[in-house]
A and B are shown apart, each in its own frame.
Chain A
Amino acid sequence: MSIDRFLEIIRKLSIEDRGSLVEELLDILLSSVNLEMVPDDVGWKINKAYREGGFSRDELIGELVYAVSIAEPAKFKKILDELGAENPR
């Protein structure tokens, strides 16, 4: 499954559920001990997205999804299972 497909699933969620999911992904990322695995440019895009008012653009949610998938694959898989999706990359 591509990130685009994953984003399609997210788009079908209500605004509240989408917000909760983004916050959950962000919490997983900020709590991870594996952040050296996340490319710095991806990290800074996520940083900028948060500081500029959140993750309104799909592209930025995609960066967050990607970062979580490489830093915390097991936790990410759990989220995918809950959403009824497969791994995006």
Chain B
Amino acid sequence: MTVFTVEVVPKDPLWKIDLLTYIIGDLGFPGVWLSEHPHNRSSFIIASHLLKNIDRVWIGLGVVNPYTVNPFVIAQLSASLLEIAPGRVRLAIGAGDKTVLESLGIERVKPLEKVREAATIIRKLLTEKRITLRDNIHGRLDFNPRGNLLLYVGAQGPRMLQLSGEIGDGVLVNYSAVEDLRWAYGEVMKGVEKAGKRIEEIDLAAYLTISLDVDLRRAVKTVTPYAAYILSGLPEKIIDSIDIEEDKMVKIREAVQRADWLKLYDLLDVEVVERLAIVGHPKVLEERIREIVEIGYTQIVVGAPTGPRTLWALKEIKKIINDLNNNRIY
């Protein structure tokens, strides 16, 4: 059975995030992923509010990186959230965006080791309340975490995908094209096999970037900044398959850094946007979901921006899910 959840980006005022999450729960989605970005509101603080005020959905935080938030603190924050809502908290960790980290003066050193170590620290503290990592690095929680925390790993590159399969209770795969998701599935499988697990033991989530509208032009315009952001952080293997000139990539990365959306509308062709996001009429999404479910993904995250008309798009997506459910596609 595939589960459908929705991403909420904490860039808007709390009253809006609260209302949107309430509506998402009202529509029957069981979970909300709050994206984490240092330029936006803190996903942990927002999660604290939502978990207290909306009881119909679980809240996932992701992707939190162990460079901007120390893993001991991630464990402390997660355990505190579990006290507010036992069993309704999920956490995704990842290496973070290299360019954003550099802009904060943080060098992304040994990301695979860092994420593996963070997972160990968080798990150990939440289950045993105590960890000694090395001679002089140790930590503890002087309170009891309530309930289990499902730990996901957000991954894009091949080695991080493998690691996610090896150590994660779940994986967030931030691709939208079927060929990329199929390739990512294979990489996750390598990690799963390495750990001697079965793929059924993990929740494999396709974290899609979606912009629905009957007017393709409007849908593309809404999703272009998101597509550019994704493009600027992609692994080389995927960039090579997109066939985009190197000098154009440099300009796109610069425009993303400056948040120069107008420039990005000029730089990104519709074909590139369609490669990175699911754009246009809801039928496009319906067809894509069928293919993604067939690969073996167990969760589909309806990722931002969803479309130029948020409510309309969410209701259309709910209709698609109901149709698929009635036809027993998953």
Interface residues of A (CB under 8 A from B): 23, 26-31, 35-36, 38, 40, 43-44, 46-47, 50-51
Which one, A23, A43, A51, contacts B16 given CB within 8 A?
A43
Q: Is the CB of B19 within 8 A of A30?
A: yes
Chain A residues whose CB sits within 8 angstroms of the CB of B310 once the complex forms: 27, 30-31
B20 touching A30, Cβ below 8 Å: yes
A40 touches B13 (CB 8 A): yes
Query: B1 at interface (Cβ–Cβ under 8 A)?
Result: no
Alpha-carbon distance A49/B19, docked complex (angstroms):
10
CB-CB under 8 A from A28, the residues of chain B are: 309
Return the contact of A38 from the options B13, B18, B307 (Cβ within 8 A). B13
CA distance in complex: A68, B20 (Å) = 16
Query: DSSP class of A's interface residues: helix, strand, loop or mixed?
Result: helix
Contact of B308 among A23, A26, A31, A43 (CB under 8 A): A31
* In-complex Cβ contact of B15 among A27, A31, A44 (8 A): A44
C-alpha gap A86/B118 in the complex (Å): 58
Q: Min CB distance, A2 to chain B, in Å?
A: 25
8 closest A-B pairs by CB: A43-B15, A27-B311, A47-B19, A31-B310, A47-B15, A44-B15, A30-B310, A35-B12
The verdict on B22 contacting chain A, using a C-beta distance below 8 Å, is yes
CB pair A51 B19 closer than 8 Å: yes
A40-B13, A43-B13 known; A31-B19 Cβ under 8 A: no
- B15 and A40 form a contact (CB under 8 A): yes
